[in-house]
Amino acid sequence: MAWFNLRRGSTQRASNDPTGDEAIPPLRVLAARHGLHIGAAVSEKHLREDPGYREILAREFNMVTCENAMKFGPLRPSRETFAFDAADSIVAFAQEHDMAVRGHTLIWHMMLPQWFRNAGLSYDEAIDVIRGHIHTVTRHYAGRLAAWDVVNEAFEDDGSWRETPFLKMLGPDYLSMAFHWAHEGDPHAKLFYNDFSADEINAKSDAIYEVLRELISQGTPVHGVGFQMHVNLENPPRPKSVAKNMKRFADLGLEVQVTEMDVALDVPATKRDLAEEARLYGDIMEACLGTKAFSAFVTWGVTDRYSWIPLQFHGKGAPLLFDDEGRPKPAYFAVREALQKELKTVPT
Ligand code: G3I
């Protein structure tokens, strides 16, 4: 069922379009009117195997993030080898459908290959290996990526440094080193720091703010901050605090992005929870639209079916804009409505 003509650049909805109103363009068209990207995290497997997944992605989004394919482990089966095929296929799809790409992620303590964990690298060896990784990967994608999550999740919730292998090997300077190496590899990509549970004003976002302020004062090429926005209904983010938090980072001269939003619900999801989820998505999008330097809103997946949430949290799921069958949920319409509203106030 061709809901959407996938030919490059075509944004005409077909008459049987599932979002119910042919007159309203896809999210990507509405976002572009705000000069924004709206994106989704993409798995190479599902992109390859599921035509409905591909159709929704190309129809509704103008940005992709590789969910796993550009992480250290998947890219580096061994110290001597790089495995780019999976990520290359996602980048190729994005280029075919006029979509921007976020690289995720050069430095993260998760999904590190065993050879790296077990290598017992000295300081100098760690410099060589990590600089080599960042240079090779950023050069491979240079010119094709809009942004990189250079460092992901370097801080604990209390604002202390996370004891990652990178901190242990290189000390806190690893942040600055990573950003400089990424910029050397791809001078055109916008370089982001990315984290979770830092969406509002709190000890963690305070620590990130101070570190990024210092990096910027030292001339480090850091261009943006990514707020992952992995949230739930039990303890939802307060849009006013999110907006205040985003503003202070924007005031540093940084781009601000929501990079991984999903809202974990108890499943099977009730109509009430789906409505609450929609309200939260719409409120966060509105908070973002009112923030200057806000440039992208990415959900952590395309359809509920393939979300990481049920795998990670038993009894939770239904976190995204499209359900297991690829049908738009109330959250989709809430995001669409927020994008359709003209900006209420000039971005502050
Ligand atoms: O590909 C292998 C497969 O061959 C194997 O059979 C299977 C079972 O062991 O594992 C598969 O790899 C899994 C991979 O996802 C692909 O499905 C890994 O075990 C699993 O750990 C990995 O989980 C990912 C997780 O990051 C850890 O890297 C999730 O998909 C991904 O959604 C999640 O995303 C992170 C962001 O990168 C950073 N922010 C938090 C977010 C959620 O944790």
- What are 70-99's pLDDT values in tens digits? 999 999 999 999 999 999 999 999 999 999
44 versus 11: which is more confidently predicted?
44
Expressed in angstroms and rounded, the spacing between residue 69 Cα and the centre of ligand 1 is 10
What is the arithmetic mean of pLDDT over 10-15? 50
Active site residue 260: yes
Expressed in angstroms and rounded, the spacing between residue 68 Cα and the centre of ligand 1 is 6
> Residue 2's pLDDT is what?
36
> Residue 255's pLDDT is what?
98
Residue 16 counted as domain residue: no
Among 74-83, 103-112, 214-223, 338-347, which stretch is predicted with the lowest mean pLDDT?
338-347
Residue 285 counted as domain residue: yes
Question: Which CATH number covers residue 74?
Answer: 3.20.20.80
What is the arithmetic mean of pLDDT over 146-162? 98
Strands 255-266 and 224-227, by their bridges, are: parallel
Give me the number of domains the chain comprises.
1
What domain range includes position 296?
27-343
CB 130, CB 184: distance < 8 Å: no
Residue 259 counted as domain residue: yes
Q: Helix, strand, or coil here: 57?
A: helix
Q: Assign 16 a pLDDT band (cuts: 50, 70, 90).
A: low
What are the backbone angles phi and psi of residue 115, rounded to the nearest 5°? -60, -35
Among 255-259, 288-292, 305-309, which stretch is predicted with the lowest mean pLDDT?
288-292
Mean pLDDT of the chain: 94
Give the position, in ligand 1's atom list, of the atom nearest the Cα of 41. 32
Active site residue 210: no
Q: Burial of 41 by CB count in 10 Å (0-12 exposed, 13-18 middle, 19+ buried)?
A: buried
Expressed in angstroms and rounded, the spacing between residue 275 Cα and the centre of ligand 1 is 29
What is the arithmetic mean of pLDDT over 278-298? 96
Q: How far is CA 96 from CA 2, 4, 33, in A?
A: 17, 15, 21
Q: Which ranges constitute the DSSP H helices of 262-325?
A: 271-289, 309-312
> Residue 24's pLDDT is what?
87
> Residue 18's pLDDT is what?
64
Residue 19 counted as domain residue: no
Residue 14 counted as domain residue: no
- Among residues 286, 233, 295, the alpha carbon closest in space to that of 259 is found at 295
How many CA atoms within 13 Å lie on the side-chain side of 101?
A: 27
Residue 4 counted as domain residue: no
* The one catalytic residue among 153, 276, 277, 286: 153
Q: Is the CB of 67 under 6 A from ligand 1?
A: yes
Query: Is 50 exceeded by the pLDDT of residue 8?
Result: no
Q: Helix, strand, or coil here: 141?
A: coil
Query: Is 60 exceeded by the pLDDT of residue 13?
Result: no
Global pTM reads 0.94
CB 275, CB 281: distance < 8 Å: no
Q: Helix, strand, or coil here: 266?
A: strand
Q: Is the CB of 262 under 6 A from ligand 1?
A: no
Residue 6 counted as domain residue: no
- Among residues 141, 322, 296, the alpha carbon closest in space to that of 227 is found at 296
For 281-318, b/e burial (b = at least 16 CB within 10 A) is bbbbbbbbbbbebbbbbbbbbbbbbbbbbbeeeeebbb
Q: Helix, strand, or coil here: 298?
A: strand
Q: Assign 347 a pLDDT band (cuts: 50, 70, 90).
A: low
- How far apart, in whole angstroms, are the C-alpha atoms of residue 78 and residue 74? 10
Residue 17 counted as domain residue: no
Tell me the per-residue pLDDT of 24-70, one tens digit each, with 9 for 90 and over: 899 999 999 999 999 999 999 999 999 999 999 999 999 999 999 99
Expressed in angstroms and rounded, the spacing between residue 227 Cα and the centre of ligand 1 is 19
* The one catalytic residue among 44, 55, 260, 277: 260
What is the arithmetic mean of pLDDT over 145-161? 98
- How far apart, in whole angstroms, are the C-alpha atoms of residue 297 and residue 289? 10
